[in-house]
Homo-oligomer: A and B are copies of this chain.
Amino acid sequence: GKAYKVAVLPGDGIGPEVMAEALKVLDAIEKRYDVTFERTHANVGGAGIDLEGRALPETTVNICKSSDAILFGSVGGPKWETLPPDEQPERGALLPLRKIFGLYANLRPAIIFPSLTSASSLKEEVISGGFDILVIRELTGGIYFSQPKGIEGEGRDRIGVDTMRYSVPEIERIAHVAFQAAQKRGRKVCSIDKANVLSTSVLWREIVIGVAKQYPDVELSHMYVDNAAMQLVRWPKQFDVILCENMFGDILSDEAAMLTGSLGMLPSASLAEGTFGMYEPSGGSAPDIAGQGIANPIAQILSAGMMLRYSFGMVEAADAIDKAVAKVLDGGYRTRDIYQNKEGEKLVNTREIGDAIIAAL
Using a CB–CB distance below 8 Å, which chain A residues touch chain B? 85, 88, 90-91, 95, 120-124, 126, 143-144, 149-151, 155-169, 194-204, 225-227, 229-230, 232-235, 247-248, 250-255, 257-259, 263
Given A156-B169, A167-B158, A168-B156, are A149 and B199 also a contact pair (CB < 8 Å)?
yes
- A169 neighbours in B (Cβ, 8 Å): 156
Given contacts A126-B121, A195-B85, contact A163 B166 (CB under 8 A): no
**Are B199 and A162 within 8 A (Cβ)?**
yes
Known contacts A122-B121, A229-B251; is-contact A91 B196 (Cβ 8 Å): yes
Contact between A197 and B91, CB atoms less than 8 A apart:
yes
Interface pair A165/B160, CB less than 8 Å apart: yes
By the criterion CB–CB under 8 Å, are A168 and B157 in contact?
yes
Q: Which residues of B contact A160 (CB under 8 A)?
A: 164-167, 198-204
Contact of A121 among B123, B166, B257 (CB under 8 A): B123
Shortest CB-to-CB span from A253 to chain B, Å, is 8
Min distance, Cβ A147 to any Cβ of chain B, angstroms = 11
- Residue from B85, B150, B200, B248 within 8 A of A196 (CB atoms): B85
Residue of B nearest to A157 (CB): B168
Query: Closest CB of chain B to A79's CB: distance in Å?
Result: 16
Q: Which 7 A-B pairs have the closest CB atoms?
A: A160-B203, A160-B200, A230-B258, A229-B255, A226-B254, A162-B164, A91-B196
Task: For A143, give its contact among B123, B156, B198 (CB under 8 Å).
Answer: B198
In angstroms, how far is the closest chain B Cβ from the Cβ of A172?
A: 9
Contacts of A235 in B (CB 8 A): 121
A118 to chain B, nearest CB (A): 9
In the complex, the answer to whether A200 meets B166 with C-beta atoms within 8 Å is no
| A95 surroundings in chain B (CB, below 8 A) | 197
- Decide: B168 and A121 in contact? CB cutoff 8 A: no
Q: Is the CB of B199 within 8 A of A227?
A: no
Q: Which residues from chain B contact A233 at a C-beta distance below 8 Å?
A: 121-122, 233, 255, 258-259
Q: Which residues of B contact A157 (CB under 8 A)?
A: 167-168
Ordered by A's residue number, 18 sampled pairs between the chains whose C-beta atoms are within 8 Å are: A90-B196, A143-B143, A149-B199, A150-B199, A151-B202, A157-B167, A158-B167, A159-B167, A160-B199, A161-B199, A162-B163, A162-B164, A162-B165, A164-B164, A229-B255, A229-B258, A233-B255, A233-B258
